[in-house]
Chain A
Amino acid sequence: MSTQADRGTAAGSAPHPGTPGSSDPHPGAGAHGTRLLSYVDALREGVAQEMERDPRVFLFGLDVADHKGIQGSTRGLLEQFGPERVFHTPLSEDAMTGVAIGAAMAGLRPIHVHIRMDFLMLCMNQLVNMASKAHYMYGGSVKVPLVVRSMIGKSWGQGAQHSQGLYALFMHVPGLKVVAPSNAHDAKGCMIAAIRDDNPVMFVEHRLLYPTEAYVPEASFTVVPGRARVCTRGGDITVVGISNMLVECLRAQELLAEAGVGVELIDPIWLVPLDIETIVESVRRTGRLLVVDNAWTNCGASAEILARVAERCWDRPLQMARMGFAPSPCPPSPTLEHEFYPNPATIALRIHEMVRPGSQWQPDMEQAALGYQLQFRGPF
């Protein structure tokens, strides 16, 4: 089982944070001032450091101050910062989003927490009609420095309303920023960047990433908007993995490396603003692009990335494809749920088919399993 524990570190086995595109000096394993930290602890540390630094920052939402503390991501913050800066809300997502916007207009810097991304559907009027537009619609006379944290669920029967990756809805609307960190390093760095940003930032977390570990600086740092990271270098195909799918793609890349297929894997990190240039530069070299999204493909982030690449690379033929959720609601039954998501094996097969069409190849299915997902147990 030691190999599974090893697999449990999303970023420990692959070049991840600190490679080109990151805003930081290479932290690297064991570098001074860094240590292995889980995604959940990195989220909490980023928030705590910013709350320490800036008294205008406060955090609120359903259940942020209970004994579970949003899977641990807010645990201890109430004790550290008191009930004026860390507090529960009624189940009134619509009004609470408005409260966050009003507080932000008044100069505070709220972090509004939702334990599931699905619940953001109750906030849409305030986010789409007000938060995103206020700075523009009011001629620059107000700012809305707001962070909206939400978590995508997966596996153990989460079902149709605890599993949705709905960030493309927010990507559609000018004025919102959207970030979906795939590892602990970026979880902290993006959180700090989001809190310091003067715009509303949709901060998209993934439940299965919470226990994954990466080397994270102890000191405060930012992973700035609009810069992607090239996670692995390879000449055969460019693969973009979003949120948790980045980790699935990393495993697929490892499987393919054994077959001699070179994958250039890119983590966009920020979906708005999107660093399309890094992706285009890579695609111009490889001639192939696969986008693997943690959401449906229809009108999604994958559609947007493919469209932008096609617009910029019109002068040459490209091979492009995408993968994402099956075009159905997410079912809880394990056999159906398994079929619903891309996984390292299906991703690797798809890549192999694109790079070496017609040739027979099968990934080692045991190697394809991701340890941290095998370890996950319910209820959440």
Chain B
Amino acid sequence: MSNPTPQPVTGRLYYKLRLIRRAEEEVARIYPSDKIKSPVHLSIGQEAVAVGICDCLRPDDVVSGTYRSHASYIAKGGDLGAMFAELYGKDTGCARGKGGSMHLVDMHHYILGTSAVVGTTVPIALGYALALQREGAGRIAAAFFGDGATEEGVFYESLNFAALHRLPVLFVCENNFYAIHTHIRKRWATTNLCERVRTYGIPAEQVTDGDVLAIRRLAAGFIDGIRTGESGPAFLECHTYRWREHVGPAEDYNAGYRSREELRPWQENDQVKVLGDSLPAAERAAIDAQVEAEVANAIEFAETSPFPKTKELYTHVYAG
């Protein structure tokens, strides 16, 4: 890196990386107790993408995500207690117990509701961005999605429409190489994703090593152009790696579709550790203590919150 990153930034990024990591490790720890009533798709190992991008966003910018969105939810400032409560199916959950892990939402922090159907939220982010463009206040939307979403027709429809209308959108592909258990080798005719995207007139860049600072630097450059309206939409492909199984709390390196060897370089470059090690010990300890307290409070909040009353089954089917 040519420019050393100022310490407040490193501390801030480490805090978010650590918060996501610890929150999800706690989800995995609690999961066998069956208190969490929701299929969980953990982002452990993938935190750097959400953290690097969201660090460049304003509080009033918008993010959209997928069923694997604990990371972007936390990185964007979503209420951690409400997230745990949602996983527990409690009335105080971010979706009042009607969404679950795959449908996190926090409109106070402009986190659009996530979807269990791959690709679905990409055009929804565009629609929100269309409204932001009309509003003219310089707000943008960041649309998070996985490599699998780029195989859906709606992805290309969305690229075209965003470019056509120069919508204030940053497309963020979290490429962890697997759609459930199928590697992109078996799904993509070529791996030149950024090249495909550029044919729509959308600038596209790739980060292949999962470096949170590199992701943040590229995102910051793109976002400036998007915000001012100079560049129109932009695209960032971030290679990353899912350490745990597709759904659930465990590892699955014995399942036969991938090897622990594949994991090793990602673990050696674990951004939580890398950034933590770069901080003065006292600062790191203070952040770690804060993270532990926040996660513990969030779990306590979820555990002590009430379940929704049964009549809630029928509220919110229709608005108004």
A126-B99 contact, Cβ under 8 Å, with A95-B157, A198-B319: no
State whether B105 touches A94 (Cβ < 8 A): no
State whether B127 touches A98 (Cβ < 8 A): yes
Of A99, A139, A197, which is within 8 A of B320 by CB?
A: A197
Of A90, A125, A137, which is within 8 A of B161 by CB?
A: A90
Q: Is residue B98 within 8 Å, beta carbon to beta carbon, of the partner chain?
A: yes
Chain A nearest CB, measured from B290 CB (Å): 27
A140-B127 contact, Cβ under 8 Å, with A90-B160, A92-B157, A129-B115: no
State whether A141 touches B128 (Cβ < 8 A): no
State whether B98 touches A101 (Cβ < 8 A): no
Complex Cα distance A276/B196, Å? 53
Complex Cα distance A145/B127, Å? 13
Q: Which residues of A contact B157 (CB under 8 A)?
A: 90, 92, 94-96
Of all chain B residues, the one with the shortest Cβ separation from A144 is B319
Q: Is residue A134 within 8 Å, beta carbon to beta carbon, of the partner chain?
A: yes
Interface string of A202-233 (1 = CB under 8 A from B): 00000000000000000000000000000000
State whether A130 touches B124 (Cβ < 8 A): yes
Q: Which residues of A contact B120 (CB under 8 A)?
A: 98, 125-126, 129-130
Surface stretch bound by A, among B27-35, B129-137, B202-210, B272-280: B129-137
State whether A175 touches B107 (Cβ < 8 A): no
Complex Cα distance A213/B121, Å? 42
Q: Is residue A106 within 8 Å, beta carbon to beta carbon, of the partner chain?
A: yes
Q: Which residues of B contact A150 (CB under 8 A)?
A: none
Surface stretch bound by A, among B40-48, B89-97, B171-179, B245-253: B89-97
Q: Is residue B113 within 8 Å, beta carbon to beta carbon, of the partner chain?
A: yes
State whether B164 touches A90 (Cβ < 8 A): yes
Q: Is residue A84 within 8 Å, beta carbon to beta carbon, of the partner chain?
A: yes
Chain B nearest CB, measured from A87 CB (Å): 9
Which B residues between 280 and 320 are near A, CB-CB below 8 angstroms? Answer: 315-320
Interface string of A101-122 (1 = CB under 8 A from B): 1111111101000000000000
Of all chain B residues, the one with the shortest Cβ separation from A140 is B316
Chain B nearest CB, measured from A48 CB (Å): 20
Query: Count of B residues near A, CB < 8 Å?
Result: 43
Which of A129, A137, A145: most chain B CB closer than 10 A? A137
Chain A nearest CB, measured from B60 CB (Å): 12
Q: Which residues of B contact A134 (CB under 8 A)?
A: 113
Which B residues between 109 and 130 are near A, CB-CB below 8 angstroms? Answer: 112-113, 115-117, 120-130
Q: Which residues of A contact B116 (CB under 8 A)?
A: 129
State whether A94 touches B129 (Cβ < 8 A): no
State whether B131 touches A137 (Cβ < 8 A): no
State whether A137 touches B318 (Cβ < 8 A): no
Of A84, A105, A135, which is within 8 A of B112 by CB?
A: A105
Of all chain B residues, the one with the shortest Cβ separation from A141 is B107
Chain A nearest CB, measured from B52 CB (Å): 24
Complex Cα distance A142/B122, Å? 17
Q: Is residue A89 within 8 Å, beta carbon to beta carbon, of the partner chain?
A: yes
State whether B107 touches A103 (Cβ < 8 A): no
Q: Is residue B153 within 8 Å, beta carbon to beta carbon, of the partner chain?
A: yes
Q: Which residues of A contact B94 (CB under 8 A)?
A: 139, 141
Chain B nearest CB, measured from A130 CB (Å): 6
Complex Cα distance A140/B94, Å? 10
State whether A139 touches B123 (Cβ < 8 A): no
Complex Cα distance A141/B116, Å? 18
Interface string of A142-155 (1 = CB under 8 A from B): 11110000000000
Q: Is residue B154 within 8 Å, beta carbon to beta carbon, of the partner chain?
A: yes
Complex Cα distance A126/B120, Å? 7
Q: Is residue B227 within 8 Å, beta carbon to beta carbon, of the partner chain?
A: no
Interface string of B68-104 (1 = CB under 8 A from A): 0000000000000000000000000111111100010
Complex Cα distance A95/B169, Å? 15
Of B103, B127, B154, which is within 8 A of A103 by CB?
A: B127
Q: Is residue A30 within 8 Å, beta carbon to beta carbon, of the partner chain?
A: no
Complex Cα distance A99/B141, Å? 13
Which of A84, A107, A138: most chain B CB closer than 10 A? A138
State whether A97 touches B319 (Cβ < 8 A): no
Q: Is residue A244 within 8 Å, beta carbon to beta carbon, of the partner chain?
A: no
Interface string of A176-187 (1 = CB under 8 A from B): 010000000000
Of A98, A144, A174, which is within 8 A of B123 by CB?
A: A98
Q: Is residue B158 within 8 Å, beta carbon to beta carbon, of the partner chain?
A: yes
Complex Cα distance A175/B320, Å? 12
Q: Is residue A343 within 8 Å, beta carbon to beta carbon, of the partner chain?
A: no
Chain A nearest CB, measured from B125 CB (Å): 6
Of B95, B117, B129, B131, which is within 8 A of A129 by CB?
A: B117
Binding site for B on A (CB under 8 A): 84, 89-90, 92, 94-108, 110, 125-126, 129-130, 134-145, 174-175, 177, 197-199
Supply 23 A–B pairs (Cβ within 8 Å), ascending by A.
A84-B134, A90-B161, A92-B161, A98-B122, A98-B126, A98-B154, A99-B123, A99-B124, A102-B126, A103-B130, A103-B131, A105-B124, A105-B127, A106-B127, A106-B132, A107-B131, A129-B116, A137-B99, A138-B99, A139-B98, A139-B99, A143-B319, A198-B319
Closest 5 CB pairs between A and B?
A: A102-B127, A98-B123, A106-B131, A139-B96, A95-B157
20 extra interface residue pairs, beta carbon distance < 8 Å, beyond A137-B95, A137-B103 = A92-B157, A95-B122, A98-B154, A102-B123, A102-B127, A102-B128, A103-B128, A105-B112, A108-B130, A108-B131, A129-B115, A135-B319, A138-B105, A139-B95, A139-B105, A140-B96, A141-B95, A141-B105, A143-B319, A199-B320
